[in-house]
Structure 1
Amino acid sequence: MLVVWCPDWPLTAVGIEAAVAGAVMERTGGSERVAACSAAARGAGVRRGQRRRDAQRVCPDLLVRDRDEEAEGRGFEAVAAAVAALAPRVEIVRAGVCAVPATGAARFYGGEEALRMLVQDAVVEAGFDCGVGIADGLFAAEVAARNGGGGLIVPEGGSAGFLSEFTLGTLNGAVGDWERIAGILVRLGIKNLGGFAGLAPGDVLGRFGAAGAAAHRLARGEEARDVAPREAVGELAVVKEFDPPAGRSDEVVFAAKALADRLHDGLAAEGLTCVRLGVEVEFADGEVAERLWRHDGLLSSNAVAERVRWQLSGWTPPPPPPGLDDAVWGGVTALILTPDQVVPDTGSQQSLWGPDGRGERGTLPEAVARAADRVQALLGHQAITRPHLTGGRSPGERVLRVPVGDLPLGGRPEGPWPGRLPEVSPSVVPPAPLRAEVTDADGAPVVVSARSVVSAPPAFVERSRSRPQPVTAWTGPWPCVERWWDPDEARRRARFQLVTEQGAYLLTVEGGVWTVEAIYD
């Protein structure tokens, strides 16, 4: 794969030059944070993810702009067109990064280095700085494009060795939940991709799940997912013909949303999802604008329509033939959506309170907000609440219920909270702890001494209004002492995790009284 990477593309899209200390902001978690910053801003100490106030504190002259994702997609069409003039099947990974298969093009132009230089020169002549890298896989090629002072070529079969010395942070953004996984790996003593790649794949899958397995494949120089299980996807393509031809892009974009719904219905019927979408726009004068759009997961109908808009906005009609200066492009006659690469649909967990995974975490989609306002008008402001994660040691303490529309005031700080419950979190947390009894094999109550010594192994647990359940496994106690300096609010308790044939429980004993704090499903 050959990858073209344009540095700091969100800044280029809003007109901030690399020599200017500038940053593009986006709203995340209720605050404005740096989505991208220029080289001059990085030299002054600005970093991605910083709050706007912190970024302006370290760089008072920082030029700030709001992120414009539509301008990013529309403007990158010029880069894709420059690459497409040299190699076919340009795949837009995201705004700022595109890729093409390198093997055939390298043979045509006399080698990989010749191809790399030609592509780089073409993009620079189009007015954009870029790095170009070639490697066995998409991820390794992008890393190569970002390094080597303009990009480099990784020898065939050498992607794993090339990636081995890079830090774990190189995978940021490549897979979901990577920051949490990387934090655990660092605590285990693994500091680079080589150490991560050396772990057994089965162990990584068992400990970190599908996200960890995908990251492990990337660290080994492979693709994040297996090759598509079927190549003949033409029968799943959907077509919209315009008669008369559509003369405005808005007509085409509106039709693209309905067409995407049809495409998704057809894929769902086959149990598939599309990770690379082909968009083909045919014009009345015979011209065709074709692009490949990659997305690891299902592109929503709105996202498909947005990419069609970008593609149309960046398309330039060809010059008219000599002597026909009044010729027109004639409008769009057909729009074709083709699932270029499909994989089995394993499902995904969407955000409940955020739109399309792109909205601000903790905010409500507009339709949900309107419905909540109507119910609150009927039942009162406190009638509808939403959960807000806060600090605490117990599962029930970490969830603060906030009326819809209010700010989460009064919550505990994020931490650190020594003695907090480690992951995996329980699935059921009662509104109030449930009374329980824990007894040993002789039926005597199990007690915990001041030195955290258990009187006897727990043998039975009895919840209120239920029969005693034999304990098949248990661990604990974990003592938790809170506010020891305040006699009126001091609290001392011990936690246990118990497993029975009917389920697993988090229990707490405090003052000789046992309660069920949470249940593991």
Structure 2
Amino acid sequence: MMARRVTRVLALWCPDWPAVAAAAAADISPTRPVVVLHANRVVACSQLARSAGVRRGLRRREAQACCPDLYVAQHDPDRDARLFEPVAMAVDETVPGVELLRPGLLVLAARGAARFFGSEEQTAERLVDAVAATGVECRIGIADQLSTAILAARRSAIVPPGAGARFLAALPVGELAAEPSLAGPERVDLVDLLHRLGLRRIGDFAALTPTEVASRFGADAIAAHRCARAEPERAPAARPTAPELTVEYPCDPPIDRVDAAAFAGRLLAVRLHDNLAAAAVACTRLAVTVETAAGEHLSRIWRCAEPLTPEGTADRVRWQLDGWLTQRALGGRPDHDEWTGIATIGGEPGESRMRRTPPPNRNASNAASPGRAAPIVLPRLEPVEVVTAGALQLGLWGGEGEREERSRRALVRVQGLLGGEAVLKGVLSGGRGPAERITMIALGDELSPAADPALPWPGRLPEPAPAVILVDRPEVTLESEDGDRIWITERGLFAADPARLRWGSKEWPVTAWSGPWPLDERWWSGGDADAVRAHVLLRDDVMVLLLFGRDHTWYVEGLYD
């Protein structure tokens, strides 16, 4: 019997990439600590900031208290992806077949590269040098499985063939949730549960049988268990879709105006959707690629929750070109051209032009002369991910509603200008409280809730849900007829009948109420273990409030119509 062919995976990881990209975009000195914020919390920080005590999850005020000299940047996925493109291109020129998992992390098959360069160690050295030439530091990890290679990259380790499980066994179980491209949001709760169960190492978790894990935990725990046991996974694949669906338009003569490129993009959109219709599929992830006369390649992948229409595809091509140009017009500087690979915009007023700095050691006969923009010679549209044509739900008259289509195009346009996280959509999620039952997801991403709403969720707030949820939970006072503040007794009842509610400078009589209901949630972590909820109806049906109580204080959590 023939032995199974061993697949080796190489992972290249750039530590703290969002902070590195933010510092490069703002031309920050390497000696100054940097943090990246999202929703006023730290999502990434540089090594200097971490050495000063800054950690992910801290609020902005807490981070600045630890390190007053911090440079604070906002989370910008477009910036991270744009500045990581030169790194990915450098790796792809050294070893082709790169698969990008997220900005700052990519993987590729290591077997062929090791044969070409002589060994896996020499391959890692060549890739480190190639990335260093772009001014970026990186770490390399090589292992049999993709997830093991990614965890190995965080330690600059090359795991011998067949030793993945032994390498992972000694790592803390928290490493299973360290990489967002390997784990969903629920992985943090799983790691917390494993800690409380006494499973502190990945090897302890891997020692459980698959039957024990599947019968006691969810689907994410099964995936984490396979990762902990270094079981076979999907190998890296650079291009997963059929090449016959790709369309391109050779421009003769080359075009150097955005409006002319957008016209070519609209023509390509029609051709692309003709190919998709012939194959009975629809596109949900689209790669827009442009080749210039200087031999440069600009590429960006658009991901949409709903299949793209020809109009939506044409709009994305136009917005993508405009976004590349506008970004450099607003914040680009000539001294950053080597870093980003995108030069400043030239041309007469009213003419948006594109050019990129020619790569080193490349002589293109049709390259633009110094000081002029490099025109576009080949725009290309490639469907990265497709679904069956039945996933596209059309309207009653063969198309989508005009108003809905205009609204969607306007929102996507906002995303193109402000970033993907600028437009969010609420999705029904699982949970007991009103805020837990809403998951905010960026428009165009897959509408996957943080928790399954179909589960029983015993003790959840009964229907109907509040019409308005107050995230900041303003404080109110609940009083009896004697003017005393009301709290609950040891038996979980109101100490007296509620008679008045004071909210700031206003006061309303309470005519009816229901509850209170004790909350026995997360009692092990001290979260809402001693909290309660109650409904109160104010005078003359002015409004119904959902109150949340904790530490002898009442807060307004929601309003009912």
Shift of 1:56: 1.7
Match of 1:388 in 2: 435
Q: 1:494 to 1:336 in 2, by over 3 A?
A: closer
Q: Which amino acid counterpart does residue 72 of structure 1 have in structure 2?
A: D
Match of 1:165 in 2: 170
Q: Which amino acid counterpart does residue 376 of structure 2 have in structure 1?
A: G
1:337-380, Cα deviation, whole Å (9 max, x unpaired): 153x88999x9xxxxxx9999638xx8559x9xxxxxxxxxxxx
Q: Secondary structure at the match of 2:421?
A: coil
- The answer (yes or no) to whether the contact 1:23–1:63 under 8 Å persists in 2 is yes
- The answer (yes or no) to whether the contact 1:78–1:126 under 8 Å persists in 2 is yes
| 1:401 counterpart = 2:466 | yes
Q: Which amino acid counterpart does residue 401 of structure 1 have in structure 2?
A: P
Q: Secondary structure at the match of 2:218?
A: helix
1:217-270, Cα deviation, whole Å (9 max, x unpaired): 222224666999x977334x2324265555356876894995899599779956
Match of 2:194 in 1: 185
Shift of 1:55: 1.4
CA distance in 2, matches of 1:206, 1:68: 40
The percent of aligned pairs where both chains have the same amino acid is: 34
CA distance in 2, matches of 1:312, 1:263: 34
Q: Which amino acid counterpart does residue 218 of structure 2 have in structure 1?
A: G
Match of 2:228 in 1: 219
1:442-488, Cα deviation, whole Å (9 max, x unpaired): xxxxxxxxxxxxxxxxxxxxxxxxxxxxxxxxxxxxxx964469365
Unaligned runs of 5+ in 2: 1-8, 325-339, 344-355, 392-410, 428-432, 438-456, 477-488, 499-513, 520-561
RMSD over aligned Cα atoms: 5.1
Give matches, 1:441-452, under 5 Å.
none
* TM-score w.r.t. length of structure 1: 0.59
Shift of 1:389: 4.1
Shift of 1:169: 2.1
1:472-519, Cα deviation, whole Å (9 max, x unpaired): xxxxxxxx9644693658989999xxxxxxxxxxxxxxxxxxxxxxxx
Match of 2:85 in 1: 77
Match of 2:100 among 92, 108, 132: 92
Match of 1:146 among 154, 158, 163: 154
Q: Secondary structure at the match of 2:89?
A: helix
1:2-30, Cα deviation, whole Å (9 max, x unpaired): 22211111122122455422211112xxx
Unaligned runs of 5+ in 1: 348-353, 369-385, 413-479, 496-521
Shift of 1:313: 4.9
Q: 1:3 to 1:393 in 2, by over 3 A?
A: closer
Matched residues, number: 386
Q: 1:395 to 1:240 in 2, by over 3 A?
A: same
Match of 1:136 in 2: 144
After the TM superposition, which of the residue ranges 16-25 and 130-139 deviates more from structure 2? 16-25
CA distance in 1, matches of 2:138, 2:70: 24
Q: Secondary structure at the match of 1:409?
A: coil
| 1:23 counterpart = 2:85 | no
Shift of 1:192: 2.2
Shift of 1:109: 0.8
| 1:46 counterpart = 2:51 | no
Give matches, 1:204-353, under 5 Å.
204-222=213-231, 233-235=242-244, 237-241=245-249, 243=251, 245-248=254-257, 255=265, 262=273, 269=280, 281-283=290-292, 287=295, 289=297, 313=342, 316-317=357-358, 320=363, 326=369, 329-339=374-384
CA distance in 2, matches of 1:241, 1:323: 17
Q: 1:272 to 1:68 in 2, by over 3 A?
A: closer
Q: Secondary structure at the match of 1:401?
A: coil
Q: 1:5 to 1:307 in 2, by over 3 A?
A: farther
- The answer (yes or no) to whether the contact 1:91–1:294 under 8 Å persists in 2 is no
Q: 1:398 to 1:170 in 2, by over 3 A?
A: farther
CA distance in 2, matches of 1:40, 1:204: 40
Q: 1:133 to 1:401 in 2, by over 3 A?
A: same
Match of 2:522 in 1: none
Q: Which amino acid counterpart does residue 213 of structure 2 have in structure 1?
A: V
Q: 1:344 to 1:491 in 2, by over 3 A?
A: same
- The answer (yes or no) to whether the contact 2:19–2:45 under 8 Å persists in 1 is yes
CA distance in 2, matches of 1:200, 1:190: 14
Q: 1:120 to 1:307 in 2, by over 3 A?
A: farther
Q: 1:154 to 1:411 in 2, by over 3 A?
A: farther
Q: Which amino acid counterpart does residue 157 of structure 1 have in structure 2?
A: G
CA distance in 1, matches of 2:436, 2:134: 47
- The answer (yes or no) to whether the contact 1:4–1:145 under 8 Å persists in 2 is yes
Match of 1:503 in 2: none
Match of 1:444 in 2: none
CA distance in 2, matches of 1:253, 1:191: 55
CA distance in 2, matches of 1:325, 1:227: 36
- The answer (yes or no) to whether the contact 2:492–2:517 under 8 Å persists in 1 is no
